[in-house]
Every structure is written in structure tokens, then in C-alpha cells.
Structure 1
Amino acid sequence: KHDIALANYRMKPYDGVIDLFRAKTRFYFVEDFTFLGWDRYASEGVRVHQVPGDHKSMLLPPNDKEFARILQKALDNC
């Protein structure tokens, strides 16, 4: 059922800055590796935070601790 919701969902611009936590290692082919397409939705820009690992490993040990540190720093700066 989630696929129906996804098919019907239309993203709208966000009135603010988006924090993007992006894997340092490129896993999939994407045209816009810098912002991964999020810049078109953020009216005030995108803050990119690079996290060690790839798309599959960025939340797994040993990368999880570095991700947590980067996330906490971003939250502290909100």
C-alpha cells in the first residue's frame, strides 16, 4: 500500500533550509551528486553533511558513530 501513496505524492517546496546527510562514497549513479535533487525544494538552500560510507553502510558500524556526531552537530546548530 505504501507504493500507492508514493505514486500519488507530489513534493512541494519547503520554506527553509534542508539538511542533507549524504554518503561520501557514491553508490548509485545520480546526475546531481552535490544536492541529490533537494536544492529545487529548499527555498533557503541545502546544507550538505558528508557521512562516511555509502548509501547502505552510512548508518552501520563503524560509520554510525560518525553519523551520530554529524547529526548532533547539525541539531545543535538549528
Structure 2
Amino acid sequence: MHRPCRGAANLLISVWLRSLPDIRGLEARLAGALPQLKVLDQTVSLRFVKHMGRILDPAGRSVSTVPMDIWSDPS
């Protein structure tokens, strides 16, 4: 059964961006396209584990992969 969201925060967007300043540009484009949109909060994750097992070159392109053991203790 689908229940409509009735709270003030009813949308979550997850994106990967190349740099922190890109966040402002994304918010500006969203606000231009959706004037009724109101950003209530944002969270930044600076280092995602090898971008899902991919090793990236300086331009951000995947150049190889590594096996990921997501269940092991990182310490």
C-alpha cells in the first residue's frame, strides 16, 4: 500500500559530484527547474570507498577495478 509523504522533507537525492563547489551548481539548477523546491539539509561524503571498487585516473575515469570485501572490519 502506497502512502503519500506528508512531512516537510519528502525527497532524498543522492549524487556523485567531482568537487564540493559542484554542489552549489547542482542546487542552483534544481532551484531553476523546480522553484518550489526547498533544500532542508545536505550531507557530504568526501571519500567513497574506491568508487565502488573502481580505481580512477586524475580525470575521474575508471582505469581498473579491485575486489571489495565490504564485510571486513576496516580497522
TM-score bracket, shorter-length normalisation: under 0.3
Structure scoring higher RCO (CA < 8 A, sep ≥ 6) equals 1
TM-score, scaled relative to structure 1: 0.26
TM-score, normalised to structure 2, is 0.26
